[in-house]
Amino acid sequence: MKISTRGKNIELTGALKDYVEEKVGRIGKYFENASIDAQVSLGVEKERHQVEVTAFVDGLILRGEEETGDMYASIDGVVEKIERQIRKYKTRINRNLRDREEFPISFEGQSNEEDEIENRVVKVKRFAVKPMGVEEAVMQMNLLGHDFFVFTNAETDEFNVVYRRKDGNYGLIDPYA
């Protein structure tokens, strides 16, 4: 498992890096023989210790973030969140990896059919997608009162998504082939 750690407004001491590697490394126990790359971002802002972890597991992306008054508690919390995600969606993760003939997720003594989550599409929306710029898409999203908006980017002629981030700013998803 490859773990890269970066910090913002915090000194990354050896002890802190070791703690991150130990805790985030626990994710690896769920995936046998899988290639795992994890990116960990640690930050301090107004006495709040923020940790974001994004783990790439053979095409699957796991992500979690935690913010507390203590950096070590934030690290523990974010790893617990990711482990909860893995346990909650284990059957679908296994199915996804198995369909791609990759590595199944392992759970000590638990069957894969336990805790099956049933998500259904309950509504389908169809709408015309007109080419527009990113700024216009953000405006349209705000006018609709949505947290995201799918549009055709007038500059690239590709489907893009703009979304509202938790920090109040906006993000752009621009898929590439």
Contact 48, 77 (CB under 8 A): no
Query: Is the CATH number 3.30.420.40 carried by domain 2-99?
Result: no
Range 131-173: architecture per CATH: 2-Layer Sandwich (3.30)
Query: How do the pLDDT tens digits run along the chain, 177 residues long?
Result: 899 999 999 999 999 999 999 999 998 888 877 788 999 999 999 889 999 999 888 777 888 999 999 999 999 999 999 998 888 777 777 666 666 555 555 555 555 454 555 677 877 878 778 899 999 999 888 887 889 999 999 999 999 999 999 898 999 999 875
Where in the chain are all domains bearing CATH 3.30.505.50? 131-173
Crossing angle of the two packed helices 71-88 and 90-99, in degrees rounded to 10:
70
Where in the chain are all domains bearing CATH 3.30.160.100? 2-99
**How many other β-carbons are positioned within 10 Å of the β-carbon of residue 70?**
11
The CA angle 159-164-169, to the nearest 5 degrees, is 115
Record the tokens describing residue 6, joined without a space. Answer: 């970066």
User: 155-160: long-range contacts at Cβ-Cβ below 8 A with a sequence spacing of 24 or more?
Assistant: 157/131, 159/129, 160/134
pTM for this model (two decimals): 0.62
